Amino acid sequence: MGILYRAYDTVLEGEVAVKVLHTCVVVGNGQARLLREAQAAAKLNHPNIVSIDDAGKDESVPFISSMNPAAVSSWSGLISSSKTECSS
């Protein structure tokens, strides 16, 4: 469903994990699905759940981000298991 990036947030001055949608998923219900994922995760507080620090759109590309270093490995499993979603 998405692509995961490790980045540096210059405002918060820390490493972040940023998940953006594949371009083939942006149309349809992909944006709503990513927003629901961010909203659900933001309401939870558990050591095994990645905390969401930001969600939105940048140049019309939806994203969610976390300053939790474990987010990269946590989200990587989800992304690799959904790569075929864009395959025709």
83 backbone φψ class: left, alpha, beta (φ>0; ψ -120 to 50): alpha
25-84 confidence digits (pLDDT tens) = 666 677 888 888 888 888 988 877 778 888 888 887 888 888 876 666 655 555 444 444
pTM of the model: 0.67
- At 74 the pLDDT is 59
How many structural domains compose the chain? 1
The full DSSP string for 67-82 is --THHHHHHHHHHHHT
- Tell me, what CATH number does 36's domain have? 3.30.200.20
- At 70 the pLDDT is 65
Structural domain boundaries, residue 53? 2-86
